[in-house]
Amino acid sequence: MPYIHRRLQSAFTLIELLTVIAIIGILAAIIIPTVGSVREKAQQAVDANNLREIAKAAMIYATDNNDRLPDPNIIAPTILTASQKVFLWPGILARSGVITDPSLYFAKNDPLFNGTYPDSIISPDNRSTLDSSFTTDRALSFEFVGGVRMGDPATTPIAFTRGLRSDGTWDPETSVYKDAGGYVVFLGGNIQFFPNTATGKFVSNRSGRKTDNILEAIPYNATNSALSARVWATSGGGTGTPSGTPAVQGP
């Protein structure tokens, strides 16, 4: 009888292929969100560091300017002008040479960031104006408090992630991290991330009591409210506006 050599063929069956595909799908469903979350946390850490550097620069500026941090309301138009006053806050720091990198004012995960950083903050052709690439169709990722002095309480907010509303929550549509919360940096130099669920974020400008309204935590002038501090923000701001939202007396 002739010897018949039978070659065994090795191959996946349909059931085995479907099983492998299902396992890969399950692993992807587990791993991909985790990787995305890690990347998001890493970017938030970058944003926090940028906000910290901005606050440090504001305090350095104050040491040479009568202990006043940047204030768009008191800078003379002969010194610096902008299409909207809110841009004067970072512009003041840039013109003084304390912080000139425009990328620090934009968060990569910000839904209102177009992905392209400005060329500069101050116009290279005229140091009395801000560069159009910094001000045209731009939403800064932070809101700023103007009218703060170094002698104010250490609990005074200086700047914070854009989108913080007067009730202490971040706007789910326009804030940098949606409704997850945001960072606040204080005059004492500390920076803290507050989730939307946190309460009593700030200290009242009147009594020292806790409040969630940041307007009740920045300097308020009871004699002349027009001289009170203001919160400045570009489009998408929660509390601040391009023309500045004035402080109110706290509880």
pLDDT of 38: 65
Rounded CA-CA distance 199/197 in Å is 6
CA dihedral 142, 191, 147, 132 (to 10 degrees): -30
pLDDT of 19: 77
pLDDT in tens, 46-69: 999 999 999 999 999 999 999 999
User: Which pTM value belongs to this model?
Assistant: 0.85
Which residues lie across from 187 on neighbouring strands?
none
Rounded CA-CA distance 110/115 in Å is 9
Name the nearest CA neighbour of 106 among 195, 228, 5, 234: 234
Among 17-26, 169-178, 203-212, the minimum mean pLDDT is found in 17-26
User: In this structure, are residues 242 and 162 in contact, taking their beta carbons and an 8 Å threshold?
Assistant: no
pLDDT in tens, 220-241: 999 999 899 999 999 899 999 9
User: How much is the average pLDDT of 210-225?
Assistant: 96
pLDDT of 9: 53
User: How much is the average pLDDT of 189-212?
Assistant: 96
Domain parsing of the chain, residue ranges: 38-246
Q: Residue 42 above 80 pLDDT? A: yes
Strand order in the sheet with 157-161: 191-195, 181-186, 157-161, 142-146, 230-232, 245-246
Residue 36's pLDDT band, with cuts at 50, 70 and 90, is low
